[in-house]
Amino acid sequence: MEVKEFYSTNEQQLARFAKALSHPVRIYICVILSKQTCCYSGDLAEEVPIARSTLSQHLKELKNAGLIQGEIASPKIKYCLNKENWTIAQNLFKEFFK
């Protein structure tokens, strides 16, 4: 039996979300995005006191987990919460901590 088969889909998804949120910078990014409709990467770079390359890596982790989405609006990238997955994450965490 594969390890993935042992864990439920919800458990796997919760773990993916938890891993993506396991760094304070990523939590801060989500807080910023939760307070507005969208935000451009350049604006985030001004809000978060880290190198742009490091910020890019954190955004990539959040995007890969499905918590945020990015849209290229050349020459910038516009980021916002993935509302559907954000709601799923909220429900999974509520159930986990119940």
Asked if residue 98 is part of any domain, the answer here is: no
DSSP codes, 23-64? SHHHHHHHHHHHTSS-EEHHHHHHHS-S-HHHHHHHHHHHHH
* DSSP-derived 3-state class of residue 13: helix
CATH number of the CATH domain containing 70 = 1.10.10.10
Domain count, the chain: 1
Position 22 scores a pLDDT of: 97
Q: Establish how many alpha carbons lie within 13 A of residue 68's alpha carbon, considering only the half-sphere containing its beta carbon.
A: 30
- Predicted local distance difference test score (pLDDT) of residue 5: 79
| Domain range enclosing 30 | 3-93
82: in domain: yes
- Residue 26: inside a domain: yes
* Model pLDDT, residue 75: 83
- The pLDDT value recorded for residue 50 is 95
76 lies in some domain: yes
Q: Is residue 58 part of a domain?
A: yes
pLDDT in tens, the chain (98 residues): 566 678 999 999 999 999 999 999 999 999 999 999 899 988 999 999 999 999 999 999 999 999 999 998 788 899 999 999 999 999 999 999 99
Residue 29: how many other CB atoms lie within 10 Å = 25
Phi and psi, residue 3, nearest 5°: -60, -40
